[in-house]
Amino acid sequence: MTASQVIFCQATESFPGQGFGDGFLKILETAVAELGCGKSSEAQNPWALKIPLNAPGQSNAVLPQWINAARTGLKKGGQNPGPMFDTLSITTAGLDTAEGLLERASQLDLQEFFVVGDDPENQPGDPLSLSEECAFPSVTLSSVAAAAGGLMLLNSVRPHPHLGMSGALFSLGSGILDRQSKLLLHRDIRPTVDTPLCAGCGSCLATCIFDAITIRAGRAFIDHQLCTGCGECMTACHLAGISPEDASRIPRFQKQVAEAAFAVASQSRAAQSGSLLYANFLTPVPRQAAGGFGRDRQQPDVKGVLVAADPLALDQATWDILVKGNVHGLRQWSGFLQEPGALMERADALGLGSRQYDLQLRA
């Protein structure tokens, strides 16, 4: 397998919410133009940009000016950028309604081009087939992602309780799917409470919109009939008192995300025209996004954005930077025990991309 090109636009200035300078935006714009150039866009079906809005109250990892730089870059690369979208979350982060997403977009002054990717009012895309190894036969793209002539996925790299890191593969294999497909993917990943570690503080209970958690005799209890496996309570527990019920299911979950990502990257409308691009933003992780071990969390020294047309190479490069930049161990970055090993191995085996990459530094 030949190495895929990954462009790393490293930020040399202090980091926003406070803002990158014009120099960085220019570098990002050029990288997107370079990688977007020559893609066979469909003029009638513009590119859609998936953007992570994040929850109200959290720092917005991907700022409007970065999104604008990506849009300008696409234009300079001869592409036709259309709507920006985010999708409904199965988590408890407060963006689980179309109204919540629209309000957040408005707060960020993004409403002009923003649409809800899987608005329940819209029809989702056609089913995309998965291999026979999967527990279910197909997944469905959100309506906006399904209709797009090209797709650019902008990801803020965050700790993820089941993957270690959420990046391009997770966005492709879960983030841009419709809500039902996301729930299907997560259904076997249910956490459980380690009662000796639980102090009964109730933080997890407050994050669970599915009412799956109760406090009994001073300890949290998860009702697995109600739990969707979103993992949000694991992030909320500062005592690391919640972990996967069955750790052996984690690799299966990761493989299914890889399968779904491969289906999107090979069967979607954007894939048919070869018009897919990805950007992973390495930013400081807000305290709210830290896992249970996050109290002494170390931020990586390196910050910026990595851009590629290969989601596997992009995530591998991102992961390698995180590993290299955390002398205290990744657990102090993510707060979770998991690493995205099975995700990347399965993506590699499916031919979704290359784990070899040629990292080009622009700073």
Residue appearing with tokens 């990506």: 70
CB-wise, 206 or 363, nearer to ligand SF4? 206
Helix (H, G, I), strand (E, B) or coil at 102: helix
CB-wise, 4 or 235, nearer to ligand SF4? 235
Helix (H, G, I), strand (E, B) or coil at 49: strand
CB-wise, 4 or 174, nearer to ligand SF4? 174
- Least separation, in Å, of the C-beta of 133 and ligand SF4? 25
Length of the chain: 363
Residue 185 interacts with ligand SF4 (CB under 6 A): yes or no: no
Residue 92 interacts with ligand SF4 (CB under 6 A): yes or no: yes
Determine which residue in the list 67, 88, 237, 352 makes contact with ligand SF4, applying CB under 6 A: 237
Could you give the count of Cα atoms lying within 13 Å of 309 in the half-sphere of its Cβ? 19
- Least separation, in Å, of the C-beta of 96 and ligand SF4? 11
- Least separation, in Å, of the C-beta of 55 and ligand SF4? 14
Q: What is the C-alpha to C-alpha distance for residues 33 and 286, in angstroms, rounded to an integer?
A: 30
CB-wise, 149 or 229, nearer to ligand SF4? 229
List Cβ neighbours of 279 (8 Å cut-off, separation of 6 or more): 28, 32, 70, 152, 153, 154, 155, 305, 306, 307
User: What's at 184, amino acid-wise?
Assistant: L
Q: How many CB atoms lie within 10 A of CB 356?
A: 15
Could you give the count of Cα atoms lying within 13 Å of 168 in the half-sphere of its Cβ? 32
Determine which residue in the list 124, 191, 291, 300 makes contact with ligand SF4, applying CB under 6 A: 191
Determine which residue in the list 52, 117, 125, 231 makes contact with ligand SF4, applying CB under 6 A: 231
CB-wise, 194 or 348, nearer to ligand SF4? 194
Q: What is the C-alpha to C-alpha distance for residues 138 and 27, in angstroms, rounded to an integer?
A: 38
Give, as ranges, the residues between 205 and 224 that touch ligand SF4 (CB under 6 A).
207-208, 210, 212-213, 220, 222
Which residue ranges make up the site for ligand SF4 (CB under 6 A)?
A: 92, 191, 193, 198-204, 207-208, 210, 212-213, 220, 222, 227-233, 236-237, 239, 241-242
